[in-house]
Structure 1
Amino acid sequence: MSEDIHMTTMMIVGGIAALIIVMMIWIYNSIIANHNRCKRAWSDVITYQRQKLKVIPQVEEALANYLSHERDLQTKITALRTGIDSLSTESMDTERVMQIEQISKDVMGRLSLTMEAYPELKASELSQGLMRELSEQESDISAAISIFNQGVEAFNNGITMFPHLLVNRMFNKMAPLRPFTDSAAAEEIEFKPNLE
């Protein structure tokens, strides 16, 4: 009888140990999966940014006669192209993307003003099509950034909540990722929630 109790106890302890090991493996793998999801989402952000590089030369060509009078716009377009070229899928540099997004907004605003200043340019189907394409790319980038931020939130929650926190500290040792934020847009909003 005591041998049966001892055997039952060993089976229960073994079952609990196996369950804990399986849970730790599952948590470890979920942390890795969430990190990989963030890397993929970051790659999408970079891909959409780089698609602008296909349109920018066409915009410059379409506006060639007008850009000679718009040196500041030419400088901003060059800065945008250089910034996009500097992006890497290897490092999640949200600060750099924020800078590029600000330059991109400036370029879009300046392009709109330039088109308003030159009625024949505004009437051109080519320039309107290019502006529409740039605008669509901006929307795609915004969507990709939103997906990236959702992935970052899931990853950060996954490494900072119990019991994932313990598994991360013991095995993964991954640091929280920084989400993309638009500080310029945030400054324009008067309401500031108390999130601390």
Structure 2
Amino acid sequence: MTYNRIVRDFNRVEQGWAGVLVQERQILRTLPALFEQVSSYQQYERDIQERLTKMRTAFDRISNERIPSEADGAALQEAQRAGEEVVRELRLTVENYPELKFSEVVRSYMRELSKLEDNLAAALRLFNAQVAAFNSRIETFPSNLVNAISPCRSRIQVFFDSEASSSFEYRPNP
């Protein structure tokens, strides 16, 4: 029974590490897609802004004519056509994407990234707890005796972030 507990705890450690890898893989898959989405919205908004600026400039040029009867009819038609295109495209886009603000996309991107990081941190905490349980199992009596005479399992190191640790002055084992 003791040997079976050692094996079970070791398998839980392996499963915990697999969970960490799944979360890391999810981050690696999601980040490029999120970045691409943010970039495409940014480019879309930049294009719309440029088109709106050109349209506004064309209308300003026409409306700044001193005598409206002398205004260029072709310029007016061109400005009107450009305006109709922008409005039509915006309507279609708004119907498909009710919230077009780039800042909301960035906030969404940051929320998703935060959620992925939280999931990874949770997976690492679970892994470390499983490692601690396994290490305690193989180091305490009578499991340590059973482990010594059976196919021996060695102590496993918990995940350790040296960068994060270096920012703390507290050391549990001075």
* Greater mean alpha carbon deviation, residues 47-56 or residues 139-148: 47-56
1:40 aligns with 2:15: yes
How far is 1:63 from its partner? 4.6
1:54 aligns with 2:54: no
**Aligned partners of 1:182 and 1:141: how far apart in 2?**
13
* Residue number in structure 2 paired with 1:164: 143
Q: Which has the larger radius of gyration?
A: 2
3-state SS of 1:193 partner: coil
Unaligned 5+ segments in structure 2 are 43-100
Percentage identity across aligned positions? Answer: 35
- Residue 131 of structure 1, aligned match among 99, 110, 125: 110
Any idea what the Cα deviations from partners look like across 1:93-146, whole Å, max 9, x if unmatched?
xxxxxxxxxxxxxxxxxxxxxxxxxxx85x2x2222122111101001101100
**Aligned partners of 2:19 and 2:172: how far apart in 1?**
30
The residue type equivalent to 2:119 in the other structure is D
How many residues of Structure 1 are paired with residues of Structure 2 in the alignment? 115
**Aligned partners of 1:50 and 1:137: how far apart in 2?**
10
The residue type equivalent to 1:175 in the other structure is S
The residue type equivalent to 1:139 in the other structure is D
* Residue number in structure 2 paired with 1:105: none
**Aligned partners of 2:167 and 2:29: how far apart in 1?**
32
Any idea what the Cα deviations from partners look like across 1:160-181, whole Å, max 9, x if unmatched?
1121111101113111111101
1:31 aligns with 2:10: no
How far is 1:58 from its partner? 2.0
* Residue number in structure 2 paired with 1:184: 163
3-state SS of 1:172 partner: coil
* Residue number in structure 1 paired with 2:85: none
**Aligned partners of 1:153 and 1:53: how far apart in 2?**
28
How far is 1:60 from its partner? 2.7
**Aligned partners of 1:133 and 1:162: how far apart in 2?**
45
Question: CA RMSD for the aligned pairs?
Answer: 1.9
**Aligned partners of 2:165 and 2:157: how far apart in 1?**
16
The residue type equivalent to 1:174 in the other structure is R
The residue type equivalent to 2:137 in the other structure is G
Structure with more relative contact order (C-alpha pairs < 8 Å, separation 6 or more): 2
**Aligned partners of 1:179 and 1:193: how far apart in 2?**
15
Unaligned 5+ segments in structure 1 are 1-25, 67-119
**Aligned partners of 1:60 and 1:144: how far apart in 2?**
24
